């Protein structure tokens, strides 16, 4: 082995990263970035180098990786090139190893000492100045795709939950508004449990935090009494990966809309929870032990709600299907695939409307999650936590997210 390459890179293992295709003229590449935000770097790889990514699984040596390249392309990769490639990945914290774990621990310790989670996406995903932000959010309600000013048919009823998108506000702002219009006009409690689909992997499958959330509209306070009860009723484990909240927008986007619709007129607190599991955690023997965290979380949370004694309203933050090359498909989606995806989404949501947690899950399992339903973890969790759920899909839409027509679908729902 070359003396310049760390010994820990002999069996390199790539972390769970986001991949996205990029085209500039005739040139194509694939970008890699860290959904957890531990690393701020982005790395662009040409297709032939990206081919090697599949072999960074912790089971292939450096020489075996070079051998796979030779078999596929008929070209020899020099050892120094392989060493430099792996060293670059390591420097960007893209590999699972001691260097990454040490950096993550340092960040987690520093984050753990903070009492407030700062706005991570102000000035990036939404306006950083309060008045401009209010105008931006108002625009979603009043746009032609938004809910408009007409009174909701459920106005004044006690609301149990809403479902809102997770994707960027610039893409789905009006669909967020459909859900939050229901909340604004309903009879609501003062405590909101926000269940968000996490962008990164969470080993404990759920990540809670007691930190307040800061936005340009002010500070949203967490309900520390509820969270302390949750710890006492078996939820302590689910605070271990609080750092997952540091760079995730799932909760942040929802707090903006809560602040906007109540406008300081109604006091409220939130219970922020990020969720990260797949359908395989609920039926695959290799993941069964880790999957036990799901019923453990649900049981502890149910006990906490009962002990707390106050009504809560659930907010689910998640998207539906993810189709196209950005998400792993080999080709851009066709119009036929768009129509097929929409039909499957709406058929699946029939189970969610009826509160059928198992029906919702089994629909995804039968397809082996072919549409990559991002909403699975938070919506499945909510359906198991809420009593007698009775929901309605208010609006359904989709957004194209890259040059290759990769598409995300999403919806707004309300439960009464």
249 & 292 share domain? yes
| CA distance linking residue 224 with residue 213, whole number of Å | 13
Residue 407 has which token pair? 């598409």
Single out the residue of 54, 15, 325 nearest to residue 200, CA to CA: 15
CATH number, position 75: 3.90.930
What is the residue range of 96's domain? 7-105
> Is residue 202 domain-shared with residue 297, that is, in the same domain?
yes
For residue 231, the Cα-to-chain-centroid distance in whole angstroms is: 24
Same domain, 43 and 156: no
| 95 and 133 share one domain | no
Residues pairing with 191 in the sheet: 269
Q: Helices marked H in 143-266 — which ranges?
A: 169-185, 224-230, 250-262
Q: For residues 47 and 153, state if they share a domain.
A: no
Whether 91 contacts 25, CB under 8 Å: no
What is the CA angle 247-272-416, rounded to 5? 130
State the Cα torsion 319-321-324-328 to the nearest 10°: 90
113 within a domain of the structure (yes/no)? no
* Angle (nearest 5°) at CA 250 between 92 and 108: 45
pLDDT tens column, 68-121: 999 999 999 998 999 999 999 999 999 999 999 999 999 999 998 999 999 999
76 exposure class (CB count in 10 Å sphere: 0-12, 13-18, 19+)? exposed
176, 220 contact by CB (below 8 A): no
- Of the candidates 194, 331, 311, the residue with the CA atom closest to the CA atom of residue 257: 194
| Domain of residue 409, CATH code | 3.40.830.10
Q: What is the pLDDT of residues 273-298, one digit of tens each?
A: 999 999 999 999 999 999 999 999 99
What is the end-to-end Cα distance of the chain in Å, rounded? 64
Instruction: Tell me the chain's radius of gyration from C-alpha atoms.
Output: 22
> Residue 69 belongs to what H/E stretch?
helix 62-73
> Which of 80, 105, 130 is at the close of a domain?
105
Longest dimension (CA), the chain: 71
> Which of 70, 105, 140 lies at the terminal end of a domain, its last residue?
105
Do 345 and 250 reside in the same domain of the chain?
yes
Same domain membership, residue 249 and residue 211: yes
CB 308 within 8 A of CB 392: no
Contact yes or no for 162/179 (Cβ under 8 A): yes
Q: Are residues 216 and 256 in the same domain?
A: yes
pLDDT attached to residue 401 = 94
CB 322: neighbour CB atoms within 10 A?
21
Number of domains in the chain: 2
Measure the CA dihedral 287/293/296/301, to 10°: -140
Residue 59: phi, psi to the nearest 5? -115, -15
- Are residues 88 and 153 located together in one domain of the fold? no
Element (H, E) at 399: strand 391-400
DSSP single-letter state for residue 231: I
98: tokens are 């001691």
pLDDT of res. 145? 96
Entry pTM = 0.92
Q: Are residues 193 and 331 in the same domain?
A: yes
Residues of the chain with pLDDT under 50: 1-5
What's the pLDDT score for residue 25? 81
In a domain, 111, yes or no: no
pLDDT at 26: 81
| Domain-located, residue 115 | no
Residue 290 shares a structural domain with residue 349: yes
203 and 99 share one domain: no
**What dihedral do alpha carbons 198, 202, 208, 211 form, nearest 10°?**
-80
Q: Is 208 helix (H, G, I), strand (E, B) or coil?
A: strand
């Amino acid at each position: 082995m070359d003396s310049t390459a760390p010994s820990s890179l002999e069996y390199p293992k790539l972390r769970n990263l986001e991949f996205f295709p990029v085209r500039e003229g005739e040139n194509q590449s694939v970008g890699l970035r860290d959904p957890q935000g531990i690393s701020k770097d982005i790395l662009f790889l040409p297709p032939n180098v990206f081919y090697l990514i599949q072999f960074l699984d912790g089971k292939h040596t450096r020489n075996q990786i070079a051998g796979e390249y030779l078999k596929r392309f008929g070209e020899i990769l020099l050892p120094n090139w392989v060493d430099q490639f792996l060293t670059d990945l390591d420097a960007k914290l893209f590999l699972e190893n001691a260097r990454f774990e040490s950096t993550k621990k340092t960040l987690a310790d520093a984050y753990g000492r903070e009492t407030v989670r700062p706005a991570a996406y102000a000035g990036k995903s939404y306006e950083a100045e309060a008045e401009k932000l209010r105008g931006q959010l108002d625009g979603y309600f009043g746009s032609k795709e938004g809910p408009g000013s007409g009174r909701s048919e459920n106005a004044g009823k006690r609301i149990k939950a809403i479902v809102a998108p997770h994707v960027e506000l610039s893409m789905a702002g009006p669909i967020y508004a459909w859900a939050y219009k229901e909340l604004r006009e309903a009879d609501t409690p003062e405590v909101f449990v926000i269940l968000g689909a996490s962008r990164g992997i969470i080993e404990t499958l759920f990540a809670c935090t007691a930190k307040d959330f800061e936005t340009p509209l002010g500070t949203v306070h967490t309900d520390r009494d509820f969270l302390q009860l949750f710890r006492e009723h078996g939820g302590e484990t689910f605070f271990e990966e609080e750092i997952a909240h540091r760079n995730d927008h799932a909760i942040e986007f929802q707090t903006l809309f809560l602040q906007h619709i109540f406008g300081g007129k109604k006091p409220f607190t939130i219970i922020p929870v990020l969720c990260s599991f797949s359908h395989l955690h609920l039926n695959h023997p290799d993941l069964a032990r880790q999957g036990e965290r799901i019923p453990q979380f649900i049981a502890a949370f149910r006990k906490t709600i009962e002990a707390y004694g106050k009504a809560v309203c659930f907010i689910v933050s998640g998207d539906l299907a993810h189709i196209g090359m950005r998400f792993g498909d080999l080709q851009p989606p066709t119009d036929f695939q768009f129509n097929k995806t929409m039909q499957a989404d709406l058929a699946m949501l029939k189970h969610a409307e009826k509160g059928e947690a198992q029906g919702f899950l089994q629909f995804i399992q039968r397809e082996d999650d072919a549409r990559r339903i991002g909403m699975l973890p938070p919506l499945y969790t909510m359906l198991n936590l809420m009593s007698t759920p009775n929901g309605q899909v208010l609006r359904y839409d989709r957004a194209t997210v890259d040059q290759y027509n990769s598409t995300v679908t999403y919806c707004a729902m309300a439960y009464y």
